[in-house]
Structure 1
Amino acid sequence: MALAVQVKIRRLFAAGVLALIMLCGCSGKEKKNFEAGKALLNEGKYAEAVDAFDKAIDAHGSNNIRGLEIDILRYRAEAEYRAKDYKAAEHSYKLLTSADENRSEYLDMLSIIYTKLSNTDMDINIDNAIDMYEKAAKQDDKSELHINAGITIVQYYEDMYDKKLDNTYLDSAEEFLEKLLKETDRKNAKVLAVYAKHMSKREDYDKALEAVDEGIALLEKKKLNKSDDETLKSLMFSRGSCYEYKSDYNKALEAFNAYIEKYGEDDSVSHEEAFLKARIR
């Protein structure tokens, strides 16, 4: 009897060891594919990254969205978005919101995705994007992603205006920009840069220049990252353009020269410089 018990114990122990080996193998496969997916994402190989993240999720083997699987889903959603597979990205972010429905990151990304899908998906329009943006705004997290979500909506309206030449789209863009300015208390240079371009399009160059000056003043007070530098570049170009449209050619040339001194020449600014020099003569 004692021998039978010992045999049973050994069998149970062997089965436990086998199960542990299988579990560790699964975990190792999961992490291996996860790390491979992140590397592919960094290399810009978005479709391949999605495949790797899918394999990691399959290896996870859980029906519940928890633990490491949430991280994998977040990376997969980003890869799908960067691959411009917006429907797939929408699905992934919806899964993520089922785990945390109030996380602003997921809501803002859904807002951006819905904006991208507007006019291409019969079930989605710009109102869906705005609803998601406003839900994210209630979380009181004014991150750069949230600002980008708002700017994406503004750009949608301006693109629609360019296509249809319907001023109601410009009105909607301006209304949403005013909302962004209020939310950021006019303390976000990127919003001010977009507002400056918008007011220039509406031929209100004084308001555009006011926004340019505010934006540049904000950036002068901080150490610039890549995004800040792109914003400053936009603001400096807008300054020259506004003065040119106001027929103040000397100030316009001065502004474009400052732009060239900082960022070098490109086709657009070289054209403006040549035009202005001809006018001043």
Structure 2
Amino acid sequence: MNSYSRVKTGYNKKKIKVLILTAGLCMGLTVGCGKSENKYTYRDAGIEALNAGDYESAIASFDEAINASNALVGAFDIDVLKYRAEAEYRAADYQAASDTYGILIQVDQERPEYLNMRCVSRAQTGDLNGALEDYKRASELDTEKNAPGRAEALLAAGAALENQGAAAEAMALYESAKAEGIESAELYNRMGLCKFGEKDYETAITCFAQGLLKPDAASVPDLIYNQAVAYEYKGDFDKARELMEQYVAGNSSDEEAARELEFLKSR
């Protein structure tokens, strides 16, 4: 068995069903329906729902706002589309978010922030080639290297490279991110995965440990799991069992980890 398959890579290859065709969305933008005086009310309701975490209601309100806009695509529609894309992404409807960012690219220029977020959305749907293309194009446009979503897109692009077997290229990307001052638990997780794939378990363990020291470490529970597996492959079963017990204690629904723990207890 390939050792790389044992760690949690975070790849999501499941395609999410497209709920609305892009062409239909563009038609809705240009034609519009309803009374324009309601569009601000719908937008405000959508923002309120978005802030409350009610993403489905937010998306519905943003659609109503667009439908209530009688003009051709303008600043209002672009503003609403940005909110809708954010709501779709937060709702984990990554295909819809990717489609909406695609519309923004069409109607509001090829901006790096749109490309960054489409990159991340595409990666979540499993479109790793598309994600990598978006990241590269965003990097060309973002000469200041400070466009919103850059760090997230960089991680998504790195994951795409890893998945294509280009771990060295991915590692170079992560190292450049560190040089730019981008520091996060997920960055160190991905660096650790690259080293694990190269069977450099000692360095992988170090990367995972550094990730666990970051302020956002709680958002990347895979760090503990992956570190445990790295210790296992290094031959330190006691440490691997200790870490896996720690992981399972906080992730009791993870059946894969529970089986792994039973295996480690038998060693």
Mark the CA change 1:64 to 1:276 in structure 2 (over 3 Å): closer, same or farther.
Answer: closer
Task: Pick from 89, 105, 124 the counterpart of residue 94 of structure 1.
Answer: 105
Task: Pick from 213, 218, 222 the counterpart of residue 234 of structure 1.
Answer: 222
Task: Pick from 256, 261, 264 the counterpart of residue 268 of structure 1.
Answer: 256
In 2, distance between residues paired with 1:58 and 1:142? Answer: 30
Matched, 1:202 2:198: yes
Mark the CA change 1:179 to 1:187 in structure 2 (over 3 Å): closer, same or farther.
Answer: same
Report the equivalent of 1:9.
none
Q: What TM-score do the two structures reach when normalised by structure 1?
A: 0.65
In 2, distance between residues paired with 1:206 and 1:215? Answer: 14
Task: Pick from 80, 103, 117 the counterpart of residue 109 of structure 1.
Answer: 117
Cα deviation code 1:230-263 (max 9, x no counterpart): 22x22111111111111111221222233345x2
List aligned pairs for 1:1-281, cutoff 5 A: 26=35, 28-38=37-47, 42-45=53-56, 49-50=58-59, 52-63=61-72, 65-66=74-75, 68-79=76-87, 82-83=92-93, 84-85=95-96, 88-95=99-106, 97-98=108-109, 102=111, 104-113=112-121, 115=123, 116=125, 118=127, 125=130, 128-135=133-140, 137-141=142-146, 145-159=149-163, 169-171=164-166, 173-185=167-179, 187-217=183-213, 219=214, 222=215, 224=216, 228-231=217-220, 233-261=221-249, 263-265=250-252, 266-279=254-267
Deviation at 1:170, TM superposition (A): 1.4
In 2, distance between residues paired with 1:114 and 1:204? Answer: 30
Deviation at 1:33, TM superposition (A): 2.0
Higher helix share: 1
In 1, distance between residues paired with 2:161 and 2:103? Answer: 26
In 2, distance between residues paired with 1:40 and 1:198? Answer: 39
In 2, distance between residues paired with 1:95 and 1:29? Answer: 26
Q: Tell me which structure has the larger Cα radius of gyration.
A: 1
Q: What TM-score do the two structures reach when normalised by structure 2?
A: 0.68
Mark the CA change 1:91 to 1:253 in structure 2 (over 3 Å): closer, same or farther.
Answer: closer
C-alpha contact 2:47 2:83 (8 A) present in aligned 1? yes
Q: Structure 2: which 5+ residue stretches go unaligned? A: 1-33
**After TM superposition, where is structure 1 displaced by more than 6 Å over at least 4 residues in a row?**
none
Deviation at 1:192, TM superposition (A): 0.8
Mark the CA change 1:138 to 1:117 in structure 2 (over 3 Å): closer, same or farther.
Answer: farther
Provide the aligned length of Structure 1 versus Structure 2.
225
Deviation at 1:191, TM superposition (A): 0.9
Computed over aligned residues only, the root mean square deviation of the Cα atoms, in angstroms, reads: 3.3
What amino acid does structure 2 have at the position aligned with 1:170? G
* Secondary structure in 2 matching 1:85: helix
What amino acid does structure 2 have at the position aligned with 1:92? I
Mark the CA change 1:50 to 1:272 in structure 2 (over 3 Å): closer, same or farther.
Answer: closer
C-alpha contact 1:78 1:89 (8 A) present in aligned 2? no
Higher relative contact order (CA 8 A, sep 6+): 2
Query: Quick one: percent identity of the two aligned structures?
Result: 23
In 2, distance between residues paired with 1:215 and 1:139? Answer: 26
Mark the CA change 1:199 to 1:136 in structure 2 (over 3 Å): closer, same or farther.
Answer: farther
Mark the CA change 1:203 to 1:142 in structure 2 (over 3 Å): closer, same or farther.
Answer: farther
